[in-house]
Structure 1
């Protein structure tokens, strides 16, 4: 449950003002790996450091873009109030996350949803009915998303009527010999407590049915994942299952006689929420497992997500105990979901010395600051079963959770009548604290099975927490009842003490009758306490028994209520999108409105209010005002009627605005962007506001009124500082603008491309990209006229291939020229990353396809290949290179563990492509050799790249047969020598071409063949540190007529 005041920064907008029309968009399911279809039917295309939006057919809406915690959100105006009101999952518009989960249009043809509803959209398909959780999983075909959205926003199926909540069916991840004895399990075994008769469910990546340690241990199994069977291809689930109940001779699980129910909920592509929900229902309702282990999790949110809701509801309904890993983020406030659920027994990790593991997620829980994790267990270097009959050592809170699960099974054998919450309380109460650790790091301590089965006193509940709003000192007192149950046949005396700044007990001693209970009152008194977290522990002692209960409170910072009243341009109450933000931190509160009234509770400080009115009859109004929260409740009125019309004019009578406008605002750590629909006549009104530090950028795109395609593109940006202008008028004059004459070459016949560009409003924000209304026929030209005083980023999309530059600062009257997609396309160091940290080598690439212009980087998502790391001829690691994209370094990444001593390594990256947009650079390979030894810190690998810029080629990247081509060569890196070779038969044979050293690199003269064909190039460079590079590019450029450039043709001979 994450606080809504998450950090936020907005993205520069303007995409819809200059994106292709809906008719030019590819159908859903046929897009690139960098496009996603939203639940509204709109599509977002991401390219490098930029993005653009293609509205769904017939969609006349505005869009807002935000950047929060590194993620890009694009939210249509007709979804904003549903998101702010908590009825629609914000992740449905998290473009970064959708791409990371492979929900893009190339890999997925539907949108997976989870609905808490009585109705579902007519266009949706029901996937699973989760009656136990009151939910349904749905699949909406992307081609029907627009119709589904209409169903969700109108009529009986609308959100807020038949449907109460709609989530994205997101993804979770798995939270990656001495440990059994460490928690006292062997002592329990000696008492005959081995988990016998107790069913434990493990919801994970499946298991290895043939592993000897699990033979006879699995009583039930079911596959809920997208994989074809129960078998564990990751090794995670097998490890977890054997830690709970493995029966090996060498490595035994904590509860070796427990019966396992294996539910496979995920695999190599992650874990779908819907699969976990189905597994939870199966385990709790059908299998009737006493304990369910869930070594998985994902980022927490403010609202209860579907997994948190299911943990709480199924726990209460069935008495099942859900044991969940805390997460591996290692920082305060990073408890993952569903470990964040109240009913979950949340497990952190310790090492063999009971020290808190560095990676173990800490509390407090987001939102109410409650104590999580509840308990810890061994999670460092845990040896357990691996697929194939082997064993492996893993670390993580994933490994800690099954220790607690096994402990719960042992305890359940002794107390079969206990509910899951009673088991949870007994385990929490009997835990052994780690020296120097706080409750937010460990809960009550490391699980102690021996003490849990021996102690006769149990504290209920296992934790007590209070949250105090700022309402004056006198009202910050709360009382809680703490009950001690005695399971023995003799009475017990309990001595009590409270370790906490604000905890007071009604008594220091209790007499607990045999098989009975006794209670006391715990008072939490925060009247004299400053705002903050106050975790503590109540300790009860009875003989040798020690029972620990987490307790404490959170005191809200001094805060007051703010009421916001909004009036539309028609004078009636309006329903705008409103954010309250802190420019110092970027903290944001979104307001939900009813009848024109929205309310928020804000800490004392300087806040700002941003309001965005989208009124179909009147256009769009933007307002901004400072709000000072000091010592009392406040009221603010925002009146759209005070807005002045924004106007942009141009002194070129041949040009006209293409579509609507975009508006970006930035203030300190905060920012936001919005843009209007396709209609260039959409009106924009600005309510004036002086505000130091507030930056404003209004952007419009203009094309020729008559010429199709337009030979030019005006990108006009009115950028100002100091607030929202009194007179939002911008009169642009062509002579004051900066001009760029761009030539776009072709590498195949009948090729087309889409130029994209946009201004950087802030360097730390992605850029919204504008483009002509349709693809350009290549070769082609386009002249840009841009507002000076900004840095402009440019890109070129040729199908699956994207080229991007590093930006160009523009001055008034400046005129520059650019050439795009010129030969030779090949590797560039801007597209390659390699480093060694300690004994770990990491190599990643966005691909091996960049044109020769300085500052460019390119990627072709359709190219495929491999990256291989070898040592002394032995392959250490090999990964496929496929789907590489400018913003997706993790998609093409190799990682390997290396020996500490210095060794000679060979790193090979090889890629091929056969695409309609290019008949050149069809196969590219770089082979690096270098020496490497253990490093103390991260050190880059000495990787080089050879760049060619042949002169005299035409706009189809062709040389004349029999001619001589001058070839300037630049080697990126630290080269000392260079050998160049030429092939005219796609690499079957090679001949050396002399290369002469120059001040900037090398140059060579290429004798082109007298018959049509291609020139392939191979270079061998030696670095000053003894490193080498052999780089091969098949079909570097063409020789001969255009008919020779057949789209999609490829090299006949594979690279050696």
Structure 2
């Protein structure tokens, strides 16, 4: 059998897909919104971001939902799957799927959203990775951790604590690294160099006069326990070592970040450190920490509000041998299984006896984050000053095994602690030198301080003993379940006086599958230890949360005597056969004794709702069992996605009852064993209300065949798209395959009854082949067809000229070194729908004929990117991007489009409808004027070196930001405001190298919650330039200009317009004659004889008194 390979014609071709899979109910990405983590240099209209994957494949997102894929060196023929799950878009090359199946790769390596949020796009230059080896901590593992195993990357840190290397792979080296890791085998399930797993070196986020007494710390102080003799490590954003509250408290500091020092420029670490062991010196003792006698070890692992995982791991390994307690007020999303940080928590705890106290997370109803989810971690939730659960505090149970998490709670709302002198975080506190913060980050140091006090009392105790003692002494709040508070709010006063605790801390019964009539009781042992000198007799009872039926949980004894210095055990039984509602059943095993002893042990079981076994039978086109297949099931009630990516051809899934959709991608030999096949099967909807067997037989699918009028056209893309949509945040799955019709199949299985939330599409593209490449093809075909309610059973199409719209497109040059262009047309039924298309690059200037089909209600949008390929590089950089909005065309008609045409300058309009470029909501003004609309009026995004937005009230500066969008709080009273915005384009841009604008307008308080659009006008300059964006030198020249207003604003009619021109980049200016009236004027200038550039300065005012002044340096060239 030979694997089908892409012909050489695809060299230099890009694949693009938009919003491939959005299958959760958490809210769909907005098409016009920039992705999270967009750098400050991005345009307010969204900017292109390029990410080179670990495989060497380049992915381009255009900031409006569009995604392009350019195959890396030597990777012609690679298939791709694109999905968007829970607002995170993934692009996964086919040869990575087997390794993902086998658990060898971190899925985040292909998560575009996360990579962009972490700043791991191509502007960062290097991709941080964690490469782990089997046998952590052994000599063999240490010997295996060599640079030769990661060829194409450089080693930056040996993380011996988890048996891993932290490496960095630059763009050029990633394809080589992938080759080194996989041996170039597309079906590899193990990593070829003896590497166990490859993780993304991701980032975690940093998640007292009232709060310290709230947990009983003063009682401990009165007993002479303040943490003296203990060391608490704070792994955070550093510290302000000059703060009076921390004088003499710090015994060591280490910087693990790329920042120059351990100084805290965020303020988070200082706040945390002083909550643990601050002396309160700057407040007369008012804001003393929980354990002021403890000493602090400061590890700076977060350079800002995010913390690179390799820095976190290095800090943990450094701190664990030196400190009895490690405070980590940080975290990230948890997944089933054990990630490197969780592994490090467990391993370091076992090795050194260090107790890791970790924030549960600030994701409200979402599960407790990692690494608080580690078994050994003491995971801390947040409560307010009345012990009520904080709204932001993450909840349990743990992802995957449904174990009890969080473990404990502590005050975390409006906590006052030391303010770092250079820290920007927090809100003002009653006393200078302090700041107020909220979060589980603030709750965690309360527990760490409590642990320090307990460690002082019991210096020989293990981490588990201290953890369970704190949990046993915690105070649960009535009406708050185990899911939110764990054992309850920490009570250090009880912890130091009470001698009885459980060895387990909590009891987890896991998930019990439906049906429950035959459920056998689950029995767990609970062992109490007594560290006191006298025996203690405990009275045992079960207290359950509201809704848990009587008899669901029982204890083996109602009374238990625990001998002095010994242990005694009983049982706790969960009986999910008891009639009651499905869901989480939680409660506390309460043990009380004379002298105020109260031990609360949280427990939980997940009583699964109605569900059935679904057997999936995968069969290849050759009739054999299919093991190279990737199946996902979408719950159409919750839009949860269930992955079934194992190699088992007949897996059995246990699914809750309800409606589902299913898709599978089966690869393998065709009916002709010498040919490779790729098949997509979809079952748009089915109901799980009984046990099911679903036959996923690739032989049921049919081929795809499309022909176009031009005989020399060759296919450049085949994209199969399946979409489930039932509201915001619910969506689709897409498969991009190599551009060869032979071997590609598609089909629907199951009922033919239409599924109302489902639709599918097949997109194909063609271009002309010249010299083995489609670069500079004089034409392209972009075609797409849709099926509402069902999946295609194959496709045969032969569109004729009368079925096609013709778009004659002109792409101008700016004379930028190393420039080229790419443009893509995407077909959709509506602007928010999904599409796939292909970018075909061309030299500039360029003219191209583009054909699109018009049947079936399809509409088209277009995206152009102006790129520069730096000398000595093969990686183009997107310097400018603009978009044509979605529109429908008529078959047999010809349309014309002009792209990349100067002058590039400010815009107050939007071709897609009204946009909020300058608004006021209440007393907040937001400003983000697009600074690089092209000469046709399309707002564009430019790669810029610097940008600034500033707002003045009269002559008083209210604030400024070095990013394209600013928010400013202003007084309620009406006043005249001045907005200034400027942007300098990055090199090697040649036109509109510097653009600035100044606007004046009046504004007062806005009572409505809907943003009010403020009067904003811009002037669009549209000189008639050639395809090089040049005008003739030595001649008189007319520059048409149009005054445009932000739609929906109160901008008045145009009164006066003046224009000045400069031929020396703005050093000197001369006034131009302006003719015309109203919004349309013409500036008349005289070009000098010498070649060069023309700069323009224009001013306008309106009848309402609003003004605008725009300056564009090097607006166009003359020759």
Question: TM-score, length-normalised on structure 1?
Answer: 0.88
**Are the aligned partners of 2:49 and 2:63 in contact in 1 as well (CA < 8 Å)?**
no
Q: Does 1:759 align with 2:801?
A: no
Deviation at 1:809, TM superposition (A): 2.3
CA distance in 2, matches of 1:179, 1:860: 49
**Are the aligned partners of 2:130 and 2:167 in contact in 1 as well (CA < 8 Å)?**
yes
CA distance in 2, matches of 1:433, 1:511: 24
How many matched pairs? 997
CA distance in 1, matches of 2:816, 2:356: 61
Q: Does 1:247 align with 2:279?
A: yes
**Are the aligned partners of 1:19 and 1:53 in contact in 2 as well (CA < 8 Å)?**
no
CA distance in 2, matches of 1:576, 1:460: 45
Which of 395, 407, 413 is residue 362 of structure 1 equivalent to? 395
Which of 301, 319, 322 is residue 283 of structure 1 equivalent to? 319
The aligned residue for residue 421 of structure 2 is 388
The aligned residue for residue 662 of structure 1 is 719
The correspondence of residues 850-861 of structure 1 with structure 2, limited to 5 A, is 850-853=933-936, 856-861=938-943
The aligned residue for residue 638 of structure 1 is 696
**Are the aligned partners of 1:255 and 1:410 in contact in 2 as well (CA < 8 Å)?**
yes
Q: Evaluate the alpha carbon distance shift between residue 1008 and residue 268 of structure 1 in structure 2; reply closer, same or farther with a 3 A threshold.
A: same
The aligned residue for residue 555 of structure 1 is 607
Segment of structure 1 superposing worse, 92-101 or 307-316: 307-316
Deviation at 1:576, TM superposition (A): 1.3
Segments of 5+ residues of structure 2 without an aligned counterpart are 1-5, 16-41, 135-140, 423-432, 670-674, 868-878
Q: Does 1:685 align with 2:767?
A: no
Deviation at 1:197, TM superposition (A): 0.9
Deviation at 1:705, TM superposition (A): 4.8
The aligned residue for residue 966 of structure 2 is 894
The aligned residue for residue 778 of structure 1 is 845
Q: Evaluate the alpha carbon distance shift between residue 852 and residue 580 of structure 1 in structure 2; reply closer, same or farther with a 3 A threshold.
A: same
The aligned residue for residue 746 of structure 1 is 813
The aligned residue for residue 576 of structure 2 is 526
Deviation at 1:248, TM superposition (A): 3.1
CA distance in 2, matches of 1:237, 1:276: 14
Q: Evaluate the alpha carbon distance shift between residue 440 and residue 930 of structure 1 in structure 2; reply closer, same or farther with a 3 A threshold.
A: farther
The aligned residue for residue 983 of structure 2 is 911
Q: Does 1:153 align with 2:182?
A: yes
The aligned residue for residue 805 of structure 1 is 884
The aligned residue for residue 975 of structure 1 is 1051
Segment of structure 1 superposing worse, 935-944 or 641-650: 935-944
CA distance in 2, matches of 1:868, 1:234: 23
The aligned residue for residue 1004 of structure 1 is 1081
CA distance in 2, matches of 1:122, 1:952: 53
Deviation at 1:258, TM superposition (A): 0.9
Segment of structure 1 superposing worse, 704-713 or 250-259: 704-713
The aligned residue for residue 1052 of structure 1 is none
Cα deviation code 1:437-479 (max 9, x no counterpart): 3322222322222222122222332211212122542225211
The aligned residue for residue 870 of structure 2 is none
The aligned residue for residue 92 of structure 1 is 109
Deviation at 1:276, TM superposition (A): 0.9
The aligned residue for residue 889 of structure 1 is none
Question: TM-score, length-normalised on structure 2?
Answer: 0.83
The aligned residue for residue 31 of structure 2 is none
**Are the aligned partners of 2:10 and 2:716 in contact in 1 as well (CA < 8 Å)?**
no
Deviation at 1:52, TM superposition (A): 0.9
**Are the aligned partners of 2:381 and 2:443 in contact in 1 as well (CA < 8 Å)?**
yes
Q: Does 1:536 align with 2:587?
A: yes
Q: Secondary structure at the match of 1:440?
A: helix
The aligned residue for residue 249 of structure 2 is 217
The aligned residue for residue 901 of structure 2 is 822
Q: Evaluate the alpha carbon distance shift between residue 840 and residue 220 of structure 1 in structure 2; reply closer, same or farther with a 3 A threshold.
A: farther
**Are the aligned partners of 2:1072 and 2:1084 in contact in 1 as well (CA < 8 Å)?**
no
CA distance in 2, matches of 1:686, 1:130: 47
Segment of structure 1 superposing worse, 929-938 or 264-273: 929-938
The correspondence of residues 199-218 of structure 1 with structure 2, limited to 5 A, is 199-218=231-250
The aligned residue for residue 498 of structure 1 is 542
**Are the aligned partners of 1:51 and 1:767 in contact in 2 as well (CA < 8 Å)?**
no
CA distance in 1, matches of 2:358, 2:1108: 49
Which of 669, 681, 693 is residue 623 of structure 1 equivalent to? 681
Segment of structure 1 superposing worse, 938-947 or 79-88: 938-947
CA distance in 2, matches of 1:376, 1:647: 62
Q: Evaluate the alpha carbon distance shift between residue 1030 and residue 399 of structure 1 in structure 2; reply closer, same or farther with a 3 A threshold.
A: farther
**Are the aligned partners of 1:333 and 1:364 in contact in 2 as well (CA < 8 Å)?**
no
CA distance in 2, matches of 1:552, 1:756: 53
Q: Secondary structure at the match of 2:839?
A: coil
CA distance in 2, matches of 1:327, 1:819: 50
Deviation at 1:300, TM superposition (A): 1.9
**Are the aligned partners of 1:369 and 1:533 in contact in 2 as well (CA < 8 Å)?**
no
Which of 971, 996, 1018 is residue 924 of structure 1 equivalent to? 996
Q: Evaluate the alpha carbon distance shift between residue 381 and residue 931 of structure 1 in structure 2; reply closer, same or farther with a 3 A threshold.
A: farther
The aligned residue for residue 198 of structure 2 is 166
CA distance in 2, matches of 1:436, 1:44: 49
The aligned residue for residue 90 of structure 2 is 73
Q: Does 1:511 align with 2:561?
A: yes
**Are the aligned partners of 1:20 and 1:54 in contact in 2 as well (CA < 8 Å)?**
no
Q: Does 1:571 align with 2:630?
A: no
Q: Does 1:480 align with 2:480?
A: no
Q: Does 1:418 align with 2:461?
A: yes
Segments of 5+ residues of structure 1 without an aligned counterpart are 1-15, 26-30, 882-891, 1042-1056
The correspondence of residues 226-241 of structure 1 with structure 2, limited to 5 A, is 226-241=258-273
CA distance in 2, matches of 1:388, 1:433: 37
Cα deviation code 1:260-313 (max 9, x no counterpart): 1111111127211111111112222x31x2111111111222332211222233
Cα deviation code 1:885-934 (max 9, x no counterpart): xxxxxxx4434555666665544221112544542363223445543548
Q: Evaluate the alpha carbon distance shift between residue 644 and residue 452 of structure 1 in structure 2; reply closer, same or farther with a 3 A threshold.
A: same
**Are the aligned partners of 2:521 and 2:575 in contact in 1 as well (CA < 8 Å)?**
yes
**Are the aligned partners of 2:582 and 2:607 in contact in 1 as well (CA < 8 Å)?**
yes
Q: Does 1:36 align with 2:51?
A: yes
Q: Secondary structure at the match of 1:424?
A: helix
Cα deviation code 1:50-95 (max 9, x no counterpart): 1111111121210011111112110011112322343211100011
The aligned residue for residue 323 of structure 1 is 357
**Are the aligned partners of 2:1097 and 2:1109 in contact in 1 as well (CA < 8 Å)?**
no
Which of 662, 675, 700 is residue 736 of structure 2 equivalent to? 675
The aligned residue for residue 887 of structure 1 is none
**Are the aligned partners of 1:827 and 1:945 in contact in 2 as well (CA < 8 Å)?**
no
**Are the aligned partners of 1:244 and 1:406 in contact in 2 as well (CA < 8 Å)?**
yes
Deviation at 1:171, TM superposition (A): 0.7
Q: Kindly report the root-mean-square deviation, in angstroms, between the aligned alpha carbons of the 2 structures.
A: 3.1
Segment of structure 1 superposing worse, 519-528 or 657-666: 657-666
**Are the aligned partners of 1:333 and 1:366 in contact in 2 as well (CA < 8 Å)?**
no
Q: Secondary structure at the match of 2:100?
A: helix
**Are the aligned partners of 1:899 and 1:934 in contact in 2 as well (CA < 8 Å)?**
no
The correspondence of residues 95-106 of structure 1 with structure 2, limited to 5 A, is 95-106=112-123
Cα deviation code 1:648-668 (max 9, x no counterpart): 012332x41242411111133
Deviation at 1:849, TM superposition (A): 0.7
CA distance in 1, matches of 2:1008, 2:217: 39
**Are the aligned partners of 1:1017 and 1:1036 in contact in 2 as well (CA < 8 Å)?**
no
Q: Secondary structure at the match of 2:716?
A: coil
CA distance in 1, matches of 2:375, 2:958: 45
Q: Does 1:469 align with 2:484?
A: no
**Are the aligned partners of 2:235 and 2:327 in contact in 1 as well (CA < 8 Å)?**
yes
Segment of structure 1 superposing worse, 260-269 or 235-244: 260-269
